[in-house]
Amino acid sequence: MNKDSATRLGVPYSLFYIFVFMTMGIILVFWPLWLSDRGLSKSEIGNILSIPPFLMVLVSPAIALISEKSGYSRAVLFTTALVSCTFFFAFYFAEDFYLYLLLQAGASCCFLSLIPLGDTQTLKAVRLYDLNYGRIRLWGSLSFIATSFGVGHLLDVIDINWTLWLILCALIIVAFFSLTLPKLPKEQEKTTDNPRIFLRKPSFLFFILGAGMIIGSHAAYYAFGSLYLTSLGYSKSLVGFIWAFGVMAEVLLFAFSNKLFKSARSLHLIIIGSIAGIIRWGTLGFSDSMVLIIGIQVLHALTFGLTHLGSMSFITKHAPKDVSASAQSLYSSIANGLMMGLSIFVSGILFDIDPSYAFLAMVGMAATGGAIIWTLTRVVPPSSAPPAKEYIHQELP
């Protein structure tokens, strides 16, 4: 496929990521502030944000299984986005803490399932047509930057209650663009084994645990970063800029990531993300210097960007095609579900005592995840990406 054709084929995936990460930018940066404005305490917000990710361990793989078995991946994406939108809309009528908890569970489980489902479709197109995953995915990061910065300025002018309506509009657009994704041909792979055995292999489960802990170490920042920064006296527009600044570095990584994605050893990329996490969370927890807080955000390119890139590369190279969606969703449900939920819960308790304790706990998570992945490098041999148009996954021990 020539460069122009590949670019055209990648456009619908880029548009999908643009609006998914627009939604994520609003939710991650400003949703805790909306909840706080409704009179909820930091510990209550921590509970509301921590419970739903635990449910993802069951919900996200179940949605992925429906997508795999039905063959209607775009319809599943569309329905999931609309269901999430419905749950968020119900927040307008909610006043009770337990109702908030129930609605957040439904809204988050559905929204967070959109990303692994979208990644599955994108990575399938990458394999079939040799597309550049990083170039497609960077549009999501650019959207996150524009959203966090732009909405921050907007909410300095209008009421914080508009946050809910912005989320609803973004989710409706996500639902629309999920239907514009290309319908891809089935991949052929000769195998005599049951592909679902892959999901139970210890090496795959340890990979999920290690990478999931590094992704989960973002919990204190994701859940309480905006509250922490506003407590230091930062305006909403400055908070939005700080979030955006970190993602700018991630964009640069994705822009030049094609060689890394195809040829670098996946597990080594994740280990680098772990080391960066130790530095990033340690610095954020023990400094209130604006210059240092903004500067350390460049490590987001490594703590999230490189960890995500390494994880997607690992799954692409090793997962049988019949369980690729389940592998993506299982990874996401552990990383963004179980690990994130546990970390948010612990962070909420520690944050009420002292914010530095919460970030110190995240240092421990990033270090432990990196140690697990380093151990895995001793077991899993180096591998290269499968050739385009021919799907041959590489077995894990």
**Which residue is listed with tokens 């997962």?**
319
pLDDT tens digits for range 158-189? 888 899 999 999 999 999 999 999 887 765 54
Integer Cα distance of 206 and 382 in angstroms: 16
Integer Cα distance of 55 and 394 in angstroms: 31
Q: Say if residue 387's pLDDT is above 50.
A: no
Q: Say if residue 247's pLDDT is above 90.
A: no
Of all residues in the chain, the percent with pLDDT exceeding 70 is 89
**Domain range annotation of the chain:** 3-181+194-377
pLDDT tens digits for range 356-376? 899 999 999 999 999 999 999
Whole-structure pTM value? 0.73
Give φ, ψ of 85 to 5 degrees. Answer: -60, -40
Region of 175 (left: φ > 0; alpha: ψ -120 to 50; beta: rest) is alpha
Output 260 or 62, whichever has higher pLDDT.
Answer: 62
Q: What DSSP character marks residue 386?
A: P
> What DSSP assignment string belongs to 106-137?
HHHHHHHHHHHHHHHHHHHHHHHH---HHHHH
Q: Where would I find the H helices in 130-161? A: 133-157
CATH of 3-181+194-377, picked from 1.20.1250.20, 3.50.50.60, 3.40.50.300, 1.20.1050.10, is: 1.20.1250.20
Integer Cα distance of 275 and 281 in angstroms: 10
Average pLDDT over residues 258-287: 85
Three-state DSSP at 320 gives coil
Nearest to 261 by CA among 318, 310, 212: 310
Integer Cα distance of 165 and 46 in angstroms: 22
Which two three-digit tokens encode residue 26?
């609003």
pLDDT of residue 395: 54
